Amino acid sequence: MEVFFTTLNLVLLVALAAIYMQLYRDLPNKYTASLLVLSLALLLYAGTSNPVVHNVFGFRPRPNIGAFVFLPDFFIGLAILVLLYQSQT
């Protein structure tokens, strides 16, 4: 489940960063720049929290504590969906 949610978040954040990059090109101000930085920071989080990335770089997996392993990634995914929805309206 964690691999699914972190990978989904990564894909959604790439789309969100592209939208914010286009928005910043059209309307360069501090607010759109901060949205772009926020999406890039979340993109880095999603990339570094993915268990596949941990395995590729040889890090030990986090201890398995049930649903609490993927719940933060699930909630971040919901926040990303809200940001995507807001950027489309």
Q: Provide the 8-state DSSP code for 27.
A: S
What pTM did the predictor assign?
Answer: 0.80
What's the CA gap between 19 and 71, in Å, rounded?
26
In this prediction, residues 27-36 reach a mean pLDDT of 91
Residue 4 is which amino acid? F
Q: Provide the 8-state DSSP code for 69.
A: G
Q: How confident is the model at residue 59 (pLDDT cuts 50, 70, 90)?
A: confident
What's the CA gap between 33 and 86, in Å, rounded?
16
The structure tokens 């990339």 sit at 47
Which pLDDT score, from 0 to 100, does residue 62 have?
A: 66
User: Where do the domains of the chain lie?
Assistant: 1-62
> Which whole-number Å values give the CA distances from 2 to 15, 16, 39, 49, 87, in the listed order?
20, 21, 20, 9, 26
Q: How confident is the model at residue 23 (pLDDT cuts 50, 70, 90)?
A: very high
Q: Is the pLDDT of residue 6 over 80?
A: yes
Provide, rounded to the nearest whole percent, the portion of the chain with pLDDT above 90. Answer: 43
In this prediction, residues 46-71 reach a mean pLDDT of 79
